[in-house]
Amino acid sequence: MSVCGVITVLEAFSLIAQTKLDLIIISAMLPELDGIDLGIGLFSMSATHNIPLAQISSHEPDDEHFALVPANISII
């Protein structure tokens, strides 16, 4: 098992495109693109749809920020 970390959304897309991942954990708040939008985008793409996704946030899971997040993306 290995863990990969990236700082930017562009680095994330590059890593995801080059690597077979078992799980993706995303900060809900990212500098250039909201992590929530990134999670929704990854869930919508056929290449990443089946990879488990989780969002890390200081907001409560029922916060309005997560209203559009698909139910199978976990909120941590």
pTM: 0.77
Residue 9 inside a domain? The answer is: no
User: Residue 52: what pLDDT?
Assistant: 93
Q: What is the pLDDT of residues 13-65, one digit of tens each?
A: 888 878 888 999 988 777 777 778 888 888 888 888 889 999 888 888 888 87
Residue 16 inside a domain? The answer is: no
Contacts of 18 (CB under 8 A, 6+ apart): none
Range of the domain at 61: 22-75
Residue 70 inside a domain? The answer is: yes
Residue 6 inside a domain? The answer is: no
Tokens of 69: 């997040």
Quote the CA–CA distance of 57 and 36 in Å, as a whole number: 10
Reply yes or no on whether the pLDDT at 67 is more than 80.
yes
Domain count of the chain?
A: 1
